[in-house]
Amino acid sequence: MRNMRKVITPSDAFAAYERAFRAGSPREVEELLREMLNVQVAVVKDKDQAEEELRQGKRLKTVPVPYSVFLGKIKNKTVYRLGSSAQKKNQSFLVEVKGDEDIRPNFTYVLLAEEAGYSSGKGLTFEGAGEETGFESQPYAEMREKTTTGRFQKWEEHAKGVWERSERITKSYRPFIERWAKEALELDDAQLQSFVDSLIDLDSLIWAMRIAVYLHDVGKLNKQWQEVVWQNEQKVSGKTRDGYIARTSPLSNAKQKKELASPPLHAPFAYPFLRALLRGILGDYRFLDTIALAAARHHSLEVSGAIGESKFEWDEWNGQKADGWLQGQICQLLSLSGDEIQKMQEAVDEAAGRIAETSKADEPPGPTDDFYFLYCIANRLVKVCDWEDAGNINIELR
């Protein structure tokens, strides 16, 4: 099996476009891109057994295969694609692929062991019967965080938990962030100038990332989300509502899970809220939007930042709206006083209004963008802190 190409040089690109122009066909460009792209391939005994394993929370073990090689090897074979919305109830995890046009790079595909010819020694041969690639258990901490079950927590407890973990982890990340900032700032590029002017110091950048971690679940303060999850908690443990919930108690049995309602999405709301809050505190700079979007994508890389109007309503408890309650939580966390409190309250007020409005879509920076590293490390920081606090364990650099 040939090695996948990892880089297209400028000369490669110009040559491909020149060939495509002279031939009157875009196929030359397509072939060049195909050499760079992979699909992930798993091998299972049969579809039904694989569906059951996936439904129990396990993951497919996969083998990377160049896109063009995979296309050439799957003629007359049964191929399934792992669905992106597999966690939704009453939907199949594996959807049969009907033709080559349905094969796309960067997706996971599943073959049957009787046709794939897989072995741990030879890899995928695509010829005859062979072994399965197998399954692996989803990390317990990650499963807890994604399902919002397994450890009862109120919102403020979880928020403080991830905040404290972010302090430890950003100390490890700091040398990498500092090096990136220094190298980025040395570039003589007009696109980068806004970042050069805005970066007061490295501490401000790290502070913004930590605040994004603290508020990544702000969408859980949505009235509908709180109602659904508190109802679930009562079914699980018998607890009645007391404040704002972030995660339900452990289930007593597998059957109980089927009795629980699925809460609405919460993660995307972090984008408009954090975008407005961070800009209100630090200024109108694009790198803050990058951090906000990284936080909003802590569950799914499909989040675009777009929010429809009237999708969010601040919950209320004991006669106080959640946004007013949140102001007090933030000021207490940061030990603010005097003018600092007023500035934070004004920023939270602005953000509280934006989260309930229509929000336009935004795109994460690509690998060639100066902010790509910042986006990746902010997204990782949020995810790891979330998993650590949900599982009550240390994961990062332990």
Judged by average pLDDT, the poorest of 71-80, 165-174, 251-260 is 251-260
> What's the confidence (pLDDT) of residue 228?
96
Task: Quote the distance between the C-alpha of residue 371 and its chain's center.
Answer: 17
CB-CB contact of 118 with 125 (8 Å): yes
CA distance 222 to 243: 13
φ, ψ dihedrals at 82, nearest 5°: -75, 120
**Structure confidence at residue 270 (pLDDT):** 96
CB atoms near residue 142 (< 10 Å)? 17
Residue 150 CA, chain-centre distance (Å), reads: 20
Candidate from 48-52, 154-158, 219-223, 323-327 with smallest mean pLDDT: 48-52
**CA 162 to CA 381: how far, in whole Å?**
10
Distances (CA, A) of 45 to 91, 97, 129, 169: 20, 17, 10, 41
- Both tokens of residue 267? 């993660």
Higher per-residue confidence, 106 vs 270: 270
pLDDT, tens only, 91-137: 788 989 988 888 887 789 999 999 999 998 888 999 999 999 998 87
Say how far apart CA 159 and CA 156 lie, in whole Å.
5
How far is the C-alpha of 250 from the C-alpha of 233, rounded, in Å?
9
pLDDT level of residue 287 (50, 70, 90 thresholds) = confident
Of the candidates 290, 309, 286, 312, the one whose C-alpha atom is nearest the C-alpha of residue 359 is 309
**pLDDT value of position 144:** 57
The owner of tokens 């190298």 is 183
Domains of the chain with bracketed CATH: 37-138 (2.40.240), 143-391 (1.10.3210)
* Closest C-alpha to 221, from 321, 144, 362: 321
pTM across the whole model: 0.70
Q: Is the pLDDT of residue 83 over 70?
A: yes
In the numeric block, the tokens 């005097």 are attached to 338
Contact partners, residue 153, CB within 8 Å, separation at least 6: 161, 245, 246, 247
Q: Is pLDDT larger for residue 148 or for residue 276?
A: 276
For the stretch 331-386, pLDDT in tens is 999 999 999 999 999 999 999 999 999 888 888 888 778 888 999 999 999 999 99
Least confident span in 35-49, 85-99, 167-181:
85-99
Report in angstroms the alpha-carbon separations of 322 from 157, 244, 315, 387, 398: 15, 9, 5, 24, 35
Q: Express each pLDDT in 179-234 by its tens digit.
A: 887 776 554 444 444 444 444 478 888 999 999 999 999 999 999 999 999 999 99
* DSSP string for residues in 241-269: P-S-EEEPPPPSSHHHHTTSPPPPP-GGG
Cα separation, 117 vs 393, in Å, equals 40
